Structure 1
Amino acid sequence: MTKNTPSTSRIHLHILTFLLLSLPFHGSTQRSDPDQEQSILLSLKQHWSNPSSLSHWTPSSDHCSWPEIACTDGSVTRIAIINGSITETIPPSICDLKNLSYIDLQWNFIPGFFPTVLYNCPKLEYLDLSQNYLVGTIPDDINRLSPRLQYLNLAANNFTGDIPASVGSLPSLVSLQLVANLFNGSFPPEIGNLSNLEELVLSYNAFAPQAIPSSFTKLKKLRNLWMTEANLIGEIPDDIGNMSALESLDLSVNDLRGNIPDGLFLLKNLTFLYLYKNRLSGPIPQRVEALKLQVLDLSNNSLNGKIPDDFGNLTSLTGLALFFNQLSGEVPVSIGRLPQLVDIGLYSNNLSGELPPDLGRYSMLKRFQVSTNQFVGGLPKYLCANKVLLGVIAFENKLTGELPDSLGDCNSLQIVRVHDNQLSGKIPDGLWTSINLTTLMLSNNLFAGELPGNVGSQLSLLELMNNQFSGPIPAGISSWEGLKVFRASNNSLSGVIPQELTALPLLSTVLLDGNQLYGPLPSTIISWKSLTALNLSRNQLSGEIPASLGLLPDLLYLDLSGNQFSGQIPTEFDHLQPTSLNLSSNRLSGRVPSKFENGAFDRSFLNNPGLCSNIRSLGISPCRAERRKSDKLSSKFIAAVSSIAAIAFLVAFLYTIHVCRSYRKRKHISESTWKLTSFQRLNFTETNILSGLIANNLIGSGGSGEVYRVPVNHSGEYVAVKRIWENMRLDHKSEKEFLAEVEILGRIRHSNIVKLLCCISSESSKLLVYEYMENRSLDRWLHGKKRPYSITSSVHHVVLDWPKRLQIAIGAAHGLCYMHHHCSSPIIHRDVKSSNILLDSEFNAKIADFGLARMLIKNGEPNTMSVVAGSFGYMAPEYAQTRRVNEKIDVYSFGVILLELITGRKAHSGDESSSLAEWVWRHVKEGKPIVDALDEDINEPHYLDEINTVLKLGLICTSTFPSSRPAMKDVLQILLRCSQRLQTGEKTKRNEYDVTPLLQNSKPDRTLENDDSVFTSI
């Protein structure tokens, strides 16, 4: 080979230097023309129709100073326009910014398909298009995005189909977030090829049933894996323990089965583990080395065996949720010594032995839930040692001994439920007067002592039944002003009933039966305007029955039996509309008021020798005047009347069935013609219902029938009865369809759907019996001429402020989400509107009136309805035009309700030319201030961020195109995030409503749940 000469070497050096200088250094910023980049940005603004959020983008200002823009060495490298009201697609010119590496356009209204124009951004490392209107499938060639791409977030759009396998060919990807879309296909095993992946979020998608690919366990750097509600099946991979970097794992609300792999609890970095609501079985692994665990939720499975002793080594654990399993044996004593434990939920298992004695001693314990087990011994004495305990839920065990002294010095307490045990002794004085206590349930124990003169001002529910309390009812009971329910049956209370008891304005239920009370009742009742149930039976009360009892407007259940009352029944009782009345076994005299002389009260007056009635079925003596009158009747006349009646009956029976039916209808169809189909355990009969269908109980009527508020039982409870119009008779086929649908709806079990208790039908009428909702409909609260008040009178003059409205929206969203996503066959309501959102006494919302509901059409069947049904203003445009039926018509209607909650306006203006959705769209499009559209009751500055978000959500839900509307599960997640901000009081951040922090920071706190709604309200 020829040796290089010096001149040749210099030439080579010059060439090499030129090449090095001409090649851009990896990671460096290419030089660009600032004026050209500003021109590109201004063209972007123009393409996006000059949104008001970019009004400061002007040629006279330095584009690198704009808040949405970041520059490096004078060149644009970052664009972040969050919640900027962008309503157009992303143009190709965005990639003319050659150094652009960061694009964040979350929370806008960007429509169309995935923007493949971004393939031309060569340096793109970060892409966030979450919370937009993108539709269609993710393109199969998505791997054409920059190989530098590290962060990809497409959450909360409307992508469908499969996640393409090519996503596994993005070599630098660190975070992949595809949560809350409409994927209905599969997710690819090729994701397991992303060796740098640290975060994978696929939750809240309706994938086709699919097991967790074994390839996922190759993701050695993966820290967070979230696949909540992703339709997972099969078992958790055995080698999941190889994912050594895993910190947070959420596989909850799926259909996973089999055992929990041993390796899962050997992950050294595991911090959060959520496996609740699956079908996991077998024992919990006994070897636990995941010592960094902070939250462990294995609830709602079928796990058995013992709680591992190693759980006592989890010194970082704050929440332990094992409820609704089949665990047995004793709870390890060491769990009581965990220094960070805040919530422990062990209820509804088969656990036994004594509870760990140190629970609450070494940690800031807030929630203690161990009900429905077989625990023995006493409650741990240190439960409230650190003065932050909110609730003690320990009912239905075999606990003995006295309540811990620490509960007597625990002002944080809100709920104590220890009923159905064998506890004894006196109640600590401080517990009675605890300032935050709302619920104290001590029934079915062996407690003794006297009732206190004072209780905490928040106490509303007090249950003492079947104990050994004694002494008088104190005169100081007048200070129990917050009390709504007072149940103290079957104790040894004595003395007279003090006048002060009648001064409690919120009382709805008073049960003092089975005690040793004596003397007359107070002649004047001061404040019992809300009382619905009063039971004073089996005492030694005497004197006359006070006339003032007959003037109580809502009294439905009255039992004064087994006493020594005398005198006549007050004439004021004619004002009562009781479901149940029992005055038997007293010393009453005179005639029974004519109002009660019917079969509904045939056992109400027994064993009162001085009472009389002309109705033989009451079982008491006939009144003398009636007896003399009857003696004057001639036997011939009676015989003639009897003969005529017999002939008439025979003729009707033999010759005309139609006449017979008409006759029976005029005489009110007898009970034997009614058929009751029950969907719940009932505490009433069809007799209770039929007797309550009177004008005084009518509370509403609509296109298909009338609705009655009917009292039904001894506790003063109501039901709502919808009577279908008698002229709406169905043919045989329609009748079968009606009954089939009613049966399906009757089996729905969800706390935000009004319970259908039973169906009572005859040949000419149908009665649907629902649970009664005290605060009626949302429509009455938003649009009534006068502000309504709670039927229970517990919340007079309530204003629907923003927290209450958000609570109502979340409740309704829960109900619709259940119907759409969690029923075995999804259900479309078809008539969602504010008058079909009912509210209970605490303003919890429930979906009602399924008269138009339909099960989703099966594959292969037409997806249209022959008749358009619904309400103007709430009806999705495609439904009115094409009669096409899917879940998105309910989403549209729900969006209108969100707009109603915000504006206070009706869904329609009275004619069919304008709707609320159109009005709000115009208001926003014209750039008018949001505050101008708000209902005056919620126009508070500190709520505006959340209100603005919900307003936007309402607009998204009322989009013209169904594909642009989110699914109800996505709507629910956004509302829950808003609620969390209200509760925590956190300030709004730029990425406030990104779905990722929603999943990271707002995990469903399963440790708060209990099988009783009273405690979950904490």
Structure 2
Amino acid sequence: MTKIPPPPSHILFTFLLLTLPFHVKTQNNTTLNQEQAILLTLKQQWSNPASLSHWTPSSDHCTWPEITCTATSSVTKLELINKTIAEIPPSICRLENLTHIDLQWNEITGIFPTALYNCTNLEYLDLSYNYFTGKLPDDINLLSPHLRFLNLGVNNFTGDIPKSIGSLSSLVTLQLYTNLFNGSFPPEIGDLANLEELNFNYIPFAPQSIPSSFTRLKKLRNLWMTATNLIGELPDGIENMSALESVDLSENNLSGTIPDGFFLLKNLTILFLYKNRFSGSIPKRVEALNLQILDLSDNTLNGTIPDDFGKLTNLTGLALYFNQLSGKVPISLGRLPKLVNIGIFNNNLSGELPPDFGRYSMLERFQVSSNQFTGEVPKYLCANKVFTGLIVFQNKLTGELPNSLGDCSSLEVVRAYDNKFSGKIPDGLWTSTNLTTLMLSNNSFSGELPNELGSRLSLLELTNNQFSGPIPTGVSSWNGLTVFRASNNLLSGVIPQELTAPPLLTTVLLDGNRFSGHLPSAIVSWKLLTTLNLSRNQLSGEIPASFGLLPDLLYLDLSENGFFGQIPLELGNLRLSSLNLSSNRLTGRIPSEFENGAFNRSFLNNLGLCSNIPSVGLSNCRIKTTKSNKLSSQFIAVVSSIAAVAFLAAFLYTIYVCRSYRNKKKVSDSTWKLTSFQRLNFTEANILSRLTDDNLIGSGGSGRVYRVPINRSGEYAAVKKIWDNVKFDQKLEKEFISEVSILGTIRHSNIVKLLCCISGENTKLLVYEYMENHSLDRWLHGKKRQLSISSGSVRHMVLDWPKRLHIAIGAAHGLCYMHHHCSPSIIHRDVKSSNILLDSDFNAKIADFGLARILIKKGEPNTISVVAGSFGYMAPEYAQTRRVSEKIDVYSFGVVLLELITGREAHSGDENSSLADWAWRHVQQGKPIIDALDEDIKEPTYFEDINTVLKLGFICTSKFPSSRPAMTDVLQILLRCSQRLPLADKTNRNEYDAAPLLLNSNSKRSFESDDGSLSPV
């Protein structure tokens, strides 16, 4: 065989050159096909979610929006956010060049996926907002040595953070926030020399101090350890952490003094150390001139405010409230050019306030209440026309309010009570466009009341001043006013008919003035009035019968006047909690509804009044005739004989009954004790005899609920029977005590009334006002959601948007009262649609306080031993850390808002999903909002407001408590939506709680202090 010689070298080179592109292309196609196959396998393992329907073999995987490739079509980035993924298959690491994995906001369960150790090129890993459990593995350092970003936040990891995490030497970002770690974090974190961001917020670690090794983190820019159970003093050497920009160590138990090192960090812009136990003085030397927000509030700091704070020319927010600071405020502080909010209330500061506040900066909030300041209020506060809140109460300030406040259209809140102010109120202040709250009580202001008020003014307090003259007839135009308190002034003249016109009034206090003449005979619009006090005036005439037509009136005081005639029988129709008609000239018999011990001091010093009930303390009403003194002895004898026989018969019968009773099996309690919290028109006998199956309307884990008729006029009460057995259930006992202790003391038109409790040996009953339209849950989700029984007959009805908004506003009122107007505050802990009850007019009332908790005092632990509540409504931090705050109610209320909009239930039947999660996914997937709406409210007229409330629901259900608004802010937004409704759709609005100013969207937390003032940052 002839041997073929090899081709010349140039021919071989030419052949290779021509065939090389073919081989490269073949290799590229192979890589493309292999990696696409891996991705399609992953899709199949994730049960082919609809959100990945575009992952098909016919398309190039590098064009899929969740995928990022290199120029050679190799996958480097996998970003699958909120795709309902439930696992991380090991095959994910077959994508050999994968550097970036982002699987946040999914439904992944189980322990940490150690299969990711095989992703050897991984630089970025985000598994936040999932459902991981268990401990982090001790060998977590086997993750890629190239890993720079690790986020495992908002999961359910427990135990310790392993020491080996300090071996991930390339880490730049480490985020483990909002988990259930209950062990410790290791000092080895200080070995992460490249670390720039450390986020351990909201982790219930065992008590631990910050190790000194942390000061070796020279590149660390952000240190966030809010509410992580830190104790002890901060380590020395903080000034060595020269890269620090943002520090948040708030809501811990740190003690000792604040290290000087913080104020020597030239890059520091944000420092949060609030709610700790720091003592001593604030460092005097300040070189951190880039500081923008400084919050040292809620500690026990003393000494003075450093003069060097006047050098902080970048400072926008300063919070030093709730400390023990003393001395004067540096004058230079008022000249800071970027200062927006300052809160230094509740200290021992004194002297005059710096005069230049607001002159050189866009000042919005000025909060200096509860100090010892003297002199006048700075006059430049509104110089730049953005000023919103003047909070100066409980000081020793003098002079008049600045005239500039009368030309400050941005102003929303003025709280200047408990000072020594005098003179007249600036004219423009009364009618300020955006003013909602004007509180001037306990001063020496003078002048007359204005004819007009600003349309948004809802709270006006003028008590204990020297205002004089009549109530102007223009009072009929005060349409936005809900609370009017002007006790103890020099007001005079008659109570004009026009005062009864403002439709939203809930409270009118005009006691201790010089009013005279008769009261208006007709009530025009006081349908929401709950409190009326006209005592200690010179009023006369008869009490108008029309007062009996005020459906919500709870407190009525007309004492120390000159009223005469009989008490109108119509007053007996009211469900008064308090009545005082003492020291008048009233005559006749009091209405029978008031003939009980609850009103035994309501009629003192009325010589002409009488009653047939001795316990009331009035003379007997028996009619004495001339014949009454001539009764024959025979008649008396007959009556006496009859009485004796009757007594003997009763005595014998009683003995028989008692013996029979002892011989029977005991089936009910032998003694009953009734404790009333409202005026009652029934006895325990009326209730006990009607607890039958025919009257049963509901049952649950804590007992049964009955609809019980209480009188012949058709009134009903709702009776909750807590238990009926010999062995008391400790949980139910706690719920009963909680319900009684809270509902027995608070009063609000949007909180269900507890009329009384009836206690027996083995049974406890709670008797409430009956709510004709049952619960919101029945209307939204019940099988008979379209059946209304408010009129006694069944008719077709749905909840349109105006009704739903009215219900939301009512429930928000009730929660605002609990959070911001009760002292101490009350957290409900179980806000849900089934605990929002509706009366015949669809007014909402918060019910079921069995899980409620009185807010802890400062210094006490704010966690509970057992988490209780309802799935779908439970805030994540409450379920994970058992931490209790108002924000868990805000979260639950946000879920209720989403229910009102979508008509869906709070849970979807899947233990791992909820309405809040579904709503977030719906929006993030870009689906039309209209597709999420309940069919009953899909009317274009209301879309703008529905969209606003939907966004509010999202904000309220934020995963982070600090991102949720206060209920006062929520109420303001809902009320503004209500004001935009067409006139025909507007429903009555209840008391507008003295809401604080809405915070900027970039604020870290909702600041409203315990004293009701606004905090600044």
TM-score (norm 2): 0.74
Assess if the C-alpha contact under 8 Å between 1:47 and 1:88 holds in 2.
no
- The 3 A distance-change label for structure 1 pair 555 and 849 is closer
**TM-aligned CA deviation for residue 329 of structure 1:** 1.9
**TM-aligned CA deviation for residue 158 of structure 1:** 2.2
1:738 corresponds to: 733
What letter is aligned with 1:202?
A: F
- The 3 A distance-change label for structure 1 pair 591 and 670 is farther
2:386 corresponds to: 388
CA distance in structure 1 between the aligned counterparts of 2:746 and 2:28, rounded to whole angstroms: 59
2:1005 corresponds to: 1005
- The 3 A distance-change label for structure 1 pair 742 and 594 is closer
Unaligned stretches of 5+ residues in structure 2 = 1-26, 664-668, 688-694, 709-715, 791-798, 820-824, 854-864, 974-999
SS for the counterpart of 1:238 is: coil
What letter is aligned with 1:445?
A: N
Assess if the C-alpha contact under 8 Å between 2:894 and 2:953 holds in 1.
no
1:333 corresponds to: 331
1:111 corresponds to: 109
1:849 corresponds to: 849
Alignment pair present for 1:559 and 2:554: no
- The 3 A distance-change label for structure 1 pair 803 and 178 is farther
1:835 corresponds to: 834
1:407 corresponds to: 405
CA distance in structure 1 between the aligned counterparts of 2:488 and 2:966, rounded to whole angstroms: 47
SS for the counterpart of 1:779 is: helix
Assess if the C-alpha contact under 8 Å between 1:483 and 1:506 holds in 2.
yes
1:302 corresponds to: 300
1:495 corresponds to: 493
**TM-aligned CA deviation for residue 174 of structure 1:** 0.8
**TM-aligned CA deviation for residue 751 of structure 1:** 15
Assess if the C-alpha contact under 8 Å between 1:585 and 1:605 holds in 2.
yes
- The 3 A distance-change label for structure 1 pair 637 and 628 is farther
Assess if the C-alpha contact under 8 Å between 1:905 and 1:916 holds in 2.
no
Partner deviation per Cα, 1:697-726 (whole Å, 9 max, x = no partner): x999755366999xxxxxxxxxx9997649
CA distance in structure 1 between the aligned counterparts of 2:132 and 2:731, rounded to whole angstroms: 43
What letter is aligned with 1:742?
A: I
Equivalenced residue count is 892
Alignment pair present for 1:343 and 2:338: no
- The 3 A distance-change label for structure 1 pair 243 and 1011 is same
Match of 1:377 among 375, 378, 390: 375
What letter is aligned with 2:835?
A: N
**TM-aligned CA deviation for residue 507 of structure 1:** 1.2
1:129 corresponds to: 127
Match of 1:543 among 536, 541, 544: 541
Assess if the C-alpha contact under 8 Å between 1:746 and 1:757 holds in 2.
no
- The 3 A distance-change label for structure 1 pair 33 and 780 is closer
- The 3 A distance-change label for structure 1 pair 73 and 630 is farther
- The 3 A distance-change label for structure 1 pair 184 and 645 is farther
Assess if the C-alpha contact under 8 Å between 1:781 and 1:788 holds in 2.
no
Which segment drifts farther, 597-606 or 751-760? 751-760
Partner deviation per Cα, 1:167-214 (whole Å, 9 max, x = no partner): 111121111111112222221111111111101111111222211111
What letter is aligned with 1:410?
A: C
Assess if the C-alpha contact under 8 Å between 1:839 and 1:846 holds in 2.
no
SS for the counterpart of 1:371 is: coil
Assess if the C-alpha contact under 8 Å between 1:156 and 1:180 holds in 2.
yes
CA distance in structure 2 between the aligned counterparts of 1:500 and 1:229, rounded to whole angstroms: 53
Which segment drifts farther, 941-950 or 305-314? 941-950
Assess if the C-alpha contact under 8 Å between 1:653 and 1:660 holds in 2.
no
2:903 corresponds to: 904
Assess if the C-alpha contact under 8 Å between 1:589 and 1:610 holds in 2.
yes
What letter is aligned with 1:935?
A: D
**TM-aligned CA deviation for residue 944 of structure 1:** 8.0
2:89 corresponds to: 91
CA distance in structure 2 between the aligned counterparts of 1:806 and 1:539, rounded to whole angstroms: 34
- The 3 A distance-change label for structure 1 pair 134 and 975 is farther
SS for the counterpart of 1:166 is: helix
CA distance in structure 1 between the aligned counterparts of 2:949 and 2:571, rounded to whole angstroms: 51
Assess if the C-alpha contact under 8 Å between 1:722 and 1:767 holds in 2.
no
SS for the counterpart of 1:210 is: coil
What letter is aligned with 2:1005?
A: D
Assess if the C-alpha contact under 8 Å between 1:811 and 1:844 holds in 2.
no
What letter is aligned with 1:38?
A: Q
Assess if the C-alpha contact under 8 Å between 2:347 and 2:370 holds in 1.
yes
Alignment pair present for 1:266 and 2:261: no
Assess if the C-alpha contact under 8 Å between 1:787 and 1:797 holds in 2.
no
Assess if the C-alpha contact under 8 Å between 2:801 and 2:937 holds in 1.
no
SS for the counterpart of 2:238 is: helix
Where in structure 2 are the equivalents of 1:474-623 lying within 5 Å?
A: 474-623=472-621
SS for the counterpart of 1:168 is: helix
Where in structure 2 are the equivalents of 1:335-484 lying within 5 Å?
A: 335-484=333-482
Assess if the C-alpha contact under 8 Å between 1:180 and 1:203 holds in 2.
yes
**TM-aligned CA deviation for residue 135 of structure 1:** 2.7
- The 3 A distance-change label for structure 1 pair 181 and 53 is same
CA distance in structure 2 between the aligned counterparts of 1:492 and 1:444, rounded to whole angstroms: 14
Alignment pair present for 1:935 and 2:930: no
What letter is aligned with 2:737?
A: V
User: Over the residues paired in the alignment, what is the CA RMSD in angstroms?
Assistant: 5.7
CA distance in structure 2 between the aligned counterparts of 1:243 and 1:639, rounded to whole angstroms: 99
CA distance in structure 1 between the aligned counterparts of 2:416 and 2:191, rounded to whole angstroms: 54
SS for the counterpart of 1:211 is: coil
- The 3 A distance-change label for structure 1 pair 73 and 920 is closer
- The 3 A distance-change label for structure 1 pair 244 and 505 is same
What letter is aligned with 1:496?
A: V
Partner deviation per Cα, 1:434-457 (whole Å, 9 max, x = no partner): 111111111111110000000001
What letter is aligned with 1:1004?
A: K
What letter is aligned with 2:83?
A: S
What letter is aligned with 2:35?
A: E
CA distance in structure 1 between the aligned counterparts of 2:315 and 2:149, rounded to whole angstroms: 31
SS for the counterpart of 1:134 is: strand
2:18 corresponds to: none
**TM-aligned CA deviation for residue 37 of structure 1:** 2.9
Identity %: 58
**TM-aligned CA deviation for residue 427 of structure 1:** 0.7
SS for the counterpart of 1:136 is: strand
What letter is aligned with 1:93?
A: S
- The 3 A distance-change label for structure 1 pair 582 and 627 is farther
- The 3 A distance-change label for structure 1 pair 920 and 317 is closer
- The 3 A distance-change label for structure 1 pair 49 and 726 is closer
- The 3 A distance-change label for structure 1 pair 943 and 129 is farther
SS for the counterpart of 1:41 is: helix
CA distance in structure 1 between the aligned counterparts of 2:789 and 2:357, rounded to whole angstroms: 46
Assess if the C-alpha contact under 8 Å between 1:802 and 1:943 holds in 2.
no
**TM-aligned CA deviation for residue 780 of structure 1:** 6.6
What letter is aligned with 1:135?
A: T
What letter is aligned with 1:117?
A: A
**TM-aligned CA deviation for residue 400 of structure 1:** 1.3
- The 3 A distance-change label for structure 1 pair 108 and 598 is closer
CA distance in structure 1 between the aligned counterparts of 2:219 and 2:563, rounded to whole angstroms: 80
Alignment pair present for 1:173 and 2:171: yes
Unaligned stretches of 5+ residues in structure 1 = 1-28, 663-667, 677-685, 710-719, 790-794, 816-821, 854-862, 877-883, 955-968, 985-999
Where in structure 2 are the equivalents of 1:500-899 lying within 5 Å?
A: 500-623=498-621, 625-626=623-624, 631=629, 688=678, 704=703, 725=721, 728=724, 730=726, 738=733, 742=737, 763-764=760-761, 766=764, 779=777, 782=780, 785=786, 798-800=802-804, 833-836=832-835, 848-850=848-850
- The 3 A distance-change label for structure 1 pair 274 and 757 is farther
**TM-aligned CA deviation for residue 651 of structure 1:** 9.7
CA distance in structure 1 between the aligned counterparts of 2:512 and 2:201, rounded to whole angstroms: 55
1:996 corresponds to: none
What letter is aligned with 2:724?
A: M
1:792 corresponds to: none
**TM-aligned CA deviation for residue 121 of structure 1:** 2.6
CA distance in structure 2 between the aligned counterparts of 1:489 and 1:945, rounded to whole angstroms: 39
1:48 corresponds to: 46
- The 3 A distance-change label for structure 1 pair 656 and 336 is farther
2:987 corresponds to: none
